[in-house]
Amino acid sequence: MYAAVEHGPVLCSDSNILCLSWKGRVPKSEKEKPVCRRRYYEEGWLATGNGRGVVGVTFTSSHCRRDRSTPQRINFNLRGHNSEVVLVRWNEPYQKLATCDADGGIFVWIQYEGRWSVELVNDRGAQVSDFTWSHDGTQALISYRDGFVLVGSVSGQRHWSSEINLESQITCGIWTPDDQQVLFGTADGQVIVMDCHGRMLAHVLLHESDGVLGMSWNYPIFLVEDSSESDTDSDDYAPPQDGPAAYPIPVQNIKPLLTVSFTSGDISLMSNYDDLSPTVIRSGLKEVVAQWCTQGDLLAVAGMERQTQLGELPNGPLLKSAMVKFYNVRGEHIFTLDTLVQRPIISICWGHRDSRLLMASGPALYVVRVEHRVSSLQLLCQQAIASTLREDKDVSKLTLPPRLCSYLSTAFIPTIKPPIPDPNNMRDFVSYPSAGNERLHCTMKRTEDDPEVGGPCYTLYLEYLGGLVPILKGRRVSKLRPEFVIMDPRTDSKPDEIYANSLISTVIDSCNCSDSSDIELSDDWAAKKSPKISRASKSPKLPRISIEARKSPKLPRAAQELSRSPRLPLRKPSVGSPSLIRREFPFEDITQHNYLAQVTSNIWGTKFKIVGLAAFLPTNLGAVIYKTSLLHLQPRQMTIYLPEVRKISMDYINLPVFNPNVFSEDEDDLPGDAIWTD
């Protein structure tokens, strides 16, 4: 076999990822058909739980076709937990997601018409040690650290519960392959066996000195009925570029093995809980996390290498790194994947028909491509060349036949699409629509007021992997009206330096409200090729702009405030209808102030216009009209007019997209508008 970490940028969240779970995605065209496993596992959804109490649901894909259509929304950030999320568990037969937090709260989420909502809530007030669905998805097993165990239905009805009196804590709980018994592991090395009705069957001591970390079977987590139709009868079928070409015999024909992981790093392979002569795997790792693949023929064991003698390097102490070891059903070691990760691997999970292994280490997420067969020379050459190249575009520089160049390019196609395709091209990303039909959902946060720039600052974040990625910054420029300026992501000296590095920045709690950035990267974020911003290379502060106060007898105080604020000046416009002509801004070079656009409004804050300030954007970027009835007897209406902005030549950049005269204080609607009723 062969395994290698996927090439590309390091995928990161803004907090530590604590748990993972993956499920296949059923295409809309096949929802009424029996499930065909090969097409079913080409796409899927990865659930992550992080230290901020947010659950991320992110789309993944293993096929190597760039033109393959994706869902309109490829990421969901589910909020509701009040503490860090420690467990996420998919229920594939019923398409539900169970999440548990550190305070004992359990949520069961369900998706309906593209939106996620909480279907069930259970909060006993005690910490949950494990949550497991039965293999048919109809029942849930919940075990608590204080010895309380519960079995309920998928609809929330309690079947039975029991209080197990122990001197130690329950660490894990699983179902047997036939769902007729449940097994619990304890911190003192015991296994407790109960039947599906809650009757106690056995207490077995497996290890006197080591506690049980986890238990699993080399058996499919869920039994999905496979289709008898051919795997190639779909129009969008493409032969797998990696992974097993011919899938092995279903694991149901093989006697399941019970796998028990101990705190010492040893792993026991047992035919049953009362096996007297188990096969013991001495992994030599600590903080072990183990999981069988779906087919049950490969066991992945991840952990930190254990060193008997700590040495010293000339430049400092010897650093430990995480590694992944693979074993077969006989406990024989097959392959070792060495990584450069310096932090423990918290969680792993298999996906995409066992061709991907997903690993979480701190805030970073790594994707490992796994080849179950003996690796071919072509595959080894592909990985060696891809490791030497930095980017996908470098493949075209090689003197190779087109077919080999196409095969080499598949090594750079990511399983999890990054939120921003090219961090060095952030300006185009925020200025022009994407080529596909994806919808990018964002969150805006207000930061503390900065007197140097004159008003409150805001940062627009893109939701991704349960975290937030900063893409735009803006600030308010008027204390009288809700008017704002949006900063250009491109800085004067180094293009998009701030935003390119913010993708792998550890904490995005606060931002520098000017156009410069003071973010430094931590080496814990990326194990390799992590650029770092020097504090000495900061771009200059946003210059203060001196303007003349408006000569209006009704606004003397506002005029004084405007003289002290950095609001962009206008050339004697009317209070109700600010002008949109670019020459009215007294700047010969707008780009030196890093302004991308300005949002202007009327005095009542019911009509807004978006004005392009950068030279590569049209002047008129859109308008928003907000209407309410006098006594709120009618629904509120918001009219949004956004013309399509395309990347065109400079000869056409100043052509008007719509007539700015249609926007005035006396008119109510815009032609061709879209009305949203609240």
Amino acid at 378: Q
Q: What is the CA radius of gyration of the chain?
A: 29
Residue 122 belongs to a domain? yes
Q: What is the CATH number of the domain that holds 179?
A: 2.130.10.10
The reported pLDDT for the residue numbered 354 is: 92
Pairing assessment for the beta strands 333-338 and 322-327 based on DSSP bridges: antiparallel
Amino acid at 42: E
Of 296, 322, 346, the residue that ends a domain is 296
What whole-number distance in Å separates Cα of residue 130 and Cα of residue 170? 9
Contact by Cβ (8 Å): 436, 481: no
Residue 446 belongs to a domain? yes
Largest Cα–Cα distance of the chain, in whole Å? Answer: 95
Closest CA to 506 of 519, 489, 494, 515: 519
Residue 496 belongs to a domain? no
State pTM to two decimals. 0.76
Token pair recorded at residue 292: 């069988």
Closest CA to 47 of 14, 6, 76: 76
Residue 214 belongs to a domain? yes
Of 296, 319, 354, the residue that ends a domain is 296
What whole-number distance in Å separates Cα of residue 142 and Cα of residue 133? 9
Residue 2 belongs to a domain? no
CA 4 to chain centroid: 21
DSSP bridge pairs for 446: 458
Residue 429 belongs to a domain? no
Residue 387 belongs to a domain? no
Structural domain total, the chain: 2
Closest CA to 136 of 47, 225, 22: 225
The reported pLDDT for the residue numbered 108 is: 96
- For the chain, list residues with pLDDT below 70: 26-40, 64-68, 224-254, 307-319, 421, 423, 436-437, 448-454, 491-593, 648-678
Closest CA to 41 of 221, 172, 171: 221
Residue 362 belongs to a domain? no
Domain extent for 470: 438-491+589-664
What whole-number distance in Å separates Cα of residue 386 and Cα of residue 368? 14
In sequence order, the 6+-apart residues with CB closer than 8 A to the CB of 592 are 492
Of 242, 263, 296, the residue that ends a domain is 296
Q: What is the CATH number of the domain that holds 596?
A: 2.40.128
What whole-number distance in Å separates Cα of residue 455 and Cα of residue 463? 26
The reported pLDDT for the residue numbered 400 is: 87
Contact by Cβ (8 Å): 47, 56: yes
Closest CA to 75 of 365, 343, 294: 365
